[in-house]
Amino acid sequence: MVVSDEGLGSEAGVEILKKGGNAVDAAVAVGFALAVVEPEAGNIGGGGFMLVRMADGRARFVDYREEAPGRATRNMYVGADGKVVPGRSTLGYLSVGVPGTVAGMAFAQKHFGKLTLAEDMAPAIRLAKDGFPLGAKLAGTLRGSADRLGQFPNSKRIFLKGGALYSAGEIFRQPELAATLERIAKNGPSEFYAGKTAQDLTAQMARHGGLITMQDLAKYRVHLREPLEGTYTARGAKWTIISSPPPSSGGIAILEALNILEPYKLKSWDDAQSVHLVVEAMRRAFADRATFLGDSDFAHVPVAGLLSEKYAAERRATIDPREASSSKQIGAGDPAPFDHLQATPAEGTPGGSAIEKLSPEAAAAWMEAAAQKSGHTTHYSVVDAAGNAVSNTYTLNDSYGSAVTTTDGFLLNDEMDDFTSQPGTPNMFGLLQSEANAIAPGHRPLSSMMPTIVLRDGKLSFVTGSPGGPRIISATLLSILNWAWLGMDAQAAINAPRFHQQWMPDIVLIEPPFPDAIANDLEQRGYHLATRRGWIGEVEAIGIDPKTGERLGAPDPRRQGAARGY
């Protein structure tokens, strides 16, 4: 079973499974195919995370997150007036981090796949060379991003038809991208990091004030990490949550939230008390995210403290059983006594920021604006016949990334916005972040991406993840609660209405189908709800029937996800 945002991407994965590839081969095929058919998020000019669990129980986390270039500086987005310059970290060459996708896909294929990289890339090359009919969704996102893409000649020529714009049903061919993919398939990842593609990219950077050099590309390395794990009991079963370590914030956030929630009996999202408890757990996990998390290769992240049961008990004790907390009063906790390295918050953690001082109405407007950004990341899940599983989330950050397209036909990320441009100043998603996530050469920005795999009594049960900036964490957490704690079937677990709270601003987002009675109840408890409802995340998941072992593809209908199997 393969579930992704796009049918052609999912079909590429199934094609590789039918040829004898395993789940990792299929995941690599989907990754490269989405770079062709979902250019707003699928990419070779971005980066991400792949969580692999082999049928023998081995679980590893492939970190191919983007890095800050060697010439990046701490205050590169701060103007002479001491304020962050709008757009400098989100548009154009200066916003681009060193891409990791090609290295990550090649690493995963080499260490966990069965076929060759060239075999796994064949569907993507065919789609780029022969073209494919544009769907209404892609045609719409191209129109919606025309202002940004139109500022860069290659982007305007390739993705906007020179300004004429594409219509749904037209055949979209990308010959430059096809040639690039063919070179990578032939020469391996060294093509992207040292070959013609690298030379073309760095020459373009030099011409337009970008920072990435040949040395940056040559130094890039994939990091193979141990995933985080948490174990819980629900509905008479033992559930193991395998998720993402730093520089992802998501794994820590959901495990902390689940630790806080463990003693509670959640009923449904038609029960205001259940929603209240989950929102309060989200609030505390996000407050700790803003204070303590960053690139653990360079800053101590108190993982053990944050995931301690005793720390969860302290955080739980601050929850009023009936009333909403105030984010201004709650703030971050102190995990240091429970962390073996006695970590303390980094200097410059977000306190007294402008976003805290907004009125509830202004904060709601801010959150609603942030929620409208597609942000665009994409997630897909794969399970093969042997029981190997892959959960992969990768990104360009904003929709179409920096909006810059290289001469070799691929878009570049604007991932530098995920760093802390200035403590106390929110990024494009309204997130506050600490000095631990400050810009520095070779550092990887904190991410909300969190590919996750769930075991039931030690056996593969659920593969999940989502795009959506900070809403990734809420959407993924809710999908797990729906499947494991509430006992929904796989598709119902994805379809169920979602809600989101990220500490600051002190606003709760809810989706359009969310029950009005529950929304009214939350307001009576003191919650500030965003007046405009919007979709939260885009979870593409696979459930495993515990009795039959059948793979249950559960695509997200919010943005027309696609499940394919055989």
DSSP single-letter state for residue 421: S
Residue 84 CA, distance from chain mean position: 24
Residue 258 in 3-state DSSP? helix
Q: What domains can you pick out in the chain, each with its CATH number?
A: 228-342+355-375+449-556 (1.10.246.130)
For residue 228, give the 3-state DSSP assignment: strand
10 Å Cβ neighbour count for 65? 29
Q: Check residue 206 and give its pLDDT.
A: 98
Cβ burial of 16 (10 Å; 0-12, 13-18, 19+) is buried
In single-letter form, the type of residue at position 209 comes to G
Q: What are phi and psi of 243, to 5 degrees?
A: -145, -165
| Catalytic option among 377, 393, 464, 476 | 377
CB atoms under 10 Å from CB of 268, counted, come to 12
CA distance 118 to 120: 5
For residues 102, 566, 472 and 31, what is the CA-based torsion angle, rounded to 10 degrees? Answer: 10
Closest to 44 in 3D by CA, of 179, 150, 162? 179
How far is the C-alpha of 127 from the C-alpha of 396, rounded, in Å? Answer: 20
Which pTM does this prediction carry? 0.95
Active site residue 377: yes
**pLDDT at res. 360:** 56
Each residue's pLDDT tens digit, 265-315: 999 999 999 999 999 999 999 999 999 999 999 989 999 999 999 999 999
Contacts of 547 (CB under 8 A, 6+ apart): none
- All residue ranges of the chain with pLDDT < 50 are 342-355, 366, 373-375
In the prediction, which pLDDT does 42 show?
A: 98
Radius of gyration of the chain (CA): 22
The answer for residues whose C-beta is within 8 angstroms of residue 160's C-beta and 6 or more apart is 142, 146, 149, 150, 166
Residues 6+ apart with CB under 8 A from 190: none
pLDDT in tens, 457-473: 999 999 999 999 999 99
| The pLDDT of residue 354 | 45
Q: Report the 10 Å Cβ neighbour count for 194.
A: 14
- Return the amino acid letter for 91: L
Distance CA 27, CA 21 (A): 10
